[in-house]
């Protein structure tokens, strides 16, 4: 029985968390673990909940565990992760009784370690049960208290507070540990909202139209990538916020030439392609610096039936000026490499890895990309700049620096079909994770005027 516990949902969660703590991406590691496991669907759900939950609440769990471990430096990494999984279940999962959590955690300790480690785990869990975890209210500093409560680093909260005020920063922080909605984009190249909705209902999903993106559907009741509608190219996986970029580019003529400078894995490229008609000369030239990622763009274009109008190439977008004459494209997109802080629901671990310095370094790359692509857009054309982060340093600051250097460009109000955040006082559009419970995102529309 003991060794079998290591392959249970809880045992697998401990080993997966160890790997993620050593630098693996949570979504990739989770998928790999599920594929190689023999877990039933209900256990897959528990496994996923525990892994994401521990990563999301790591600072909170550290704070709660601290008083019960006298020599934390001597604790093996797997013991720490095991105790975090137990604490997470005790505090965040209503339907799991403490005795079940204790019994299985102790069995995992017994199977994984020696007798001393089993006794240690048993002792810590029972003491937590007797004494209770420390109260957040004992933390005097309000920013530190919010950091521990929401498991967001202090520097990030300070930066957000500086940019959007304390109340909004707190609202964002409290929203990012909610589970992400499951959304899919309807592939307009082969279907429409009504047809895709009917197919997904037939596949067993509950379906709602997205309030954010006109091509978006919100889904409950299954795994979209395993559905018939996904297999036949009717829908593809994409967050609602990311679906706003292609419509914002206002591709009004199917014969337009479009550049997607940082395109992999091709979600936005394939959406752009749905507005174009190859027979009329419309095409999107898509680039990524890595050849293996370019293949992902081609595969996605093939799967979604837009391969005839997508031309994908491996190249550093900062060198595109060497490849093209000036004023070639009607529209251009730079979906820039960024810190990804808008994706904290899907990649919760990045909050502990990235620093403000990373954002400062990324800003230089973002500006270099804009400088490279700016001459390639026709006069009257649009250059769209987007990121999946919510820090001003990589968003409005980049746009303002670019405009100061490029008087041939003017900022236009970012278009959305659903007129999102109509009362905002900026022409750019920043979607925060608490606005619509979607990913955080930024879009700026730059029009070439001379």
10-residue mean pLDDT profile of the chain (450 residues): values are: 69 93 83 84 89 95 95 90 96 89 93 92 95 95 95 95 94 90 94 96 95 95 88 95 97 98 96 97 97 94 97 96 96 97 91 92 97 98 97 97 98 96 96 95 97
- For residue 367, give both structure tokens: 């500006």
Burial class (CB in 10 A: 0-12, 13-18, 19+), 4: exposed
- Catalytic residue, from 336, 388, 393, 431: name it: 388
Among 359, 418, 427, CA closest to 388: 359
Element (H, E) at 385: strand 377-387
User: Is residue 262 a known part of a binding site?
Assistant: yes
Nearest to 443 by CA among 172, 238, 245, 271: 245
**Is residue 316 a known part of a binding site?**
yes
How many whole angstroms separate alpha carbon 106 and alpha carbon 299?
Answer: 46
Residue 117: the pLDDT is 93
Neighbours of 84 (CB within 10 A): 25
- Retrieve residue 158's tokens: 């300070």
| Residue 264 among known ligand-binding residues | yes
The full set of domains in the chain, from first to last, is 1-134 (1.10.940.10), 138-176 (no CATH), 182-237 (3.30.70.1170), 240-448 (3.40.50.150)
419: left (phi over 0), alpha (psi -120 to 50) or beta: left
The answer to whether 153 is a known ligand-binding residue is no
Residue with tokens 């965040």: 92
Taking the alpha carbons of 242, 245, 251, 256 in that order, is the dihedral positive or negative?
A: negative
Q: What is the structure's pLDDT at 436? A: 94
Give the Å distances, CA to CA, from 443 to 102, 207, 367, 430: 48, 27, 15, 7
> In this structure, what DSSP letter does residue 95 have?
T
User: Residue 1 has what pLDDT?
Assistant: 45
Residue 448 three-state SS: strand
- Sheet strands (E) in 201-349: 206-209, 216-220, 235-237, 257-260, 283-288, 310-314, 329-335
Output the pLDDT for position 2: 54
Residue 84 token pair: 């975090």
**How many Cβ atoms from other residues are within 10 Å of residue 342's Cβ?**
28
Around Cβ 344, how many Cβ atoms within 10 Å?
26
Catalytic-residue membership of 338: no
CA distances from 28 to 16, 32, 38, 213, 347 (A): 11, 6, 17, 26, 10
Name the DSSP letter for residue 343: G
Q: What one-character DSSP code corresponds to residue 347?
A: S
Per the annotation, does 338 bind a ligand? no
Give the distance from CA 312 to its chain's centroid: 24
Is 215 labeled as ligand-binding?
Answer: no
Give the phi and the psi of residue 15 in degrees, each rounded to 5: -70, -35
Do the annotations mark residue 265 as ligand-binding? Answer: yes
The contacts found for 168-172 with CB under 8 angstroms, 24 or more apart, are 168/432, 168/434, 170/146, 171/434, 172/390, 172/432, 172/433, 172/434, 172/440
- Determine contact, residues 200/235, Cβ cutoff 8 Å: yes
Of 176, 218, 212, nearest to 197 by C-alpha is 218
340 carries a ligand binding annotation: no
- DSSP result, 310-357: EEEEE--GGGHHHHS-SS-EEEEEEE-----GGGTTTSTTHHHH--HH
């Amino acid at each position: 029985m003991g060794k079998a516990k290591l392959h249970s949902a809880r045992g697998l969660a401990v080993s997966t968390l160890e790997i993620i703590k050593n630098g693996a991406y949570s979504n990739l590691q989770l998928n790999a673990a599920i594929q190689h496991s023999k877990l039933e669907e209900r256990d897959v759900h528990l496994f996923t909940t525990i892994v994401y939950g521990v990563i999301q609440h790591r600072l909170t769990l550290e704070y709660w565990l601290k008083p019960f471990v006298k020599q934390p430096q001597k604790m093996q990494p797997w013991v720490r992760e095991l105790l975090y999984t137990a604490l997470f279940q005790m505090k965040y999962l209503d339907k799991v009784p403490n005795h079940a959590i204790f019994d299985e955690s102790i069995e995992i300790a017994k199977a994984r370690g020696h007798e001393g480690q089993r006794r240690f785990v048993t002792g810590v869990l029972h003491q937590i049960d007797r004494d209770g975890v420390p109260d957040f209210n004992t933390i005097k500093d309000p920013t530190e208290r919010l950091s521990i409560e929401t498991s967001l680093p202090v520097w990030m909260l300070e930066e957000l507070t500086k940019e959007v005020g304390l109340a909004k920063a707190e609202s964002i922080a409290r929203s990012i540990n909610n589970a992400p909605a499951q959304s899919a984009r309807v592939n307009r190249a082969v279907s429409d909202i009504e047809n895709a909705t009917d197919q997904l209902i037939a596949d067993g999903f509950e379906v709602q139209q997205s309030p954010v993106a006109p091509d978006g559907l919100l889904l409950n009741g299954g795994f979209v990538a395993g559905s018939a509608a996904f297999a036949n190219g009717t829908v593809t996986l994409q967050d609602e916020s990311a679906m706003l970029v292609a419509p914002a580019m206002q591709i009004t003529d199917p014969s337009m030439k479009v550049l997607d400078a940082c395109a992999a894995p091709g979600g936005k490229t394939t959406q752009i392609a749905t507005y174009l008609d190859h027979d009329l000369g419309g095409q999107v030239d898509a680039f990524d610096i890595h050849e293996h990622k370019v293949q992902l763009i081609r595969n996605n274009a093939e799967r979604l039936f837009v391969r005839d109008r997508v031309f994908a190439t491996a190249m550093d977008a900062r060198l595109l000026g060497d490849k093209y004459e000036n004023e070639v494209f009607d529209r251009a997109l730079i979906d820039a490499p960024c810190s990804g802080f808008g994706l904290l629901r899907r990649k919760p671990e990045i909050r502990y890895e990235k620093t403000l310095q990373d954002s400062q370094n990324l800003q230089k790359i973002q500006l270099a990309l804009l400088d490279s692509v700016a001459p390639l857009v026709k006069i009257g054309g649009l250059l769209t700049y987007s990121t999946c982060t919510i820090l001003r340093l990589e968003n409005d600051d980049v746009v303002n620096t670019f405009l100061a250097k490029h008087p041939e460009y003017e900022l236009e109000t970012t278009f959305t079909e659903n007129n999102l955040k109509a009362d905002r006082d900026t022409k750019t559009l920043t979607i925060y994770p608490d606005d619509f419970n979607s990913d955080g995102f930024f879009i700026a529309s730059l029009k070439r005027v001379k």
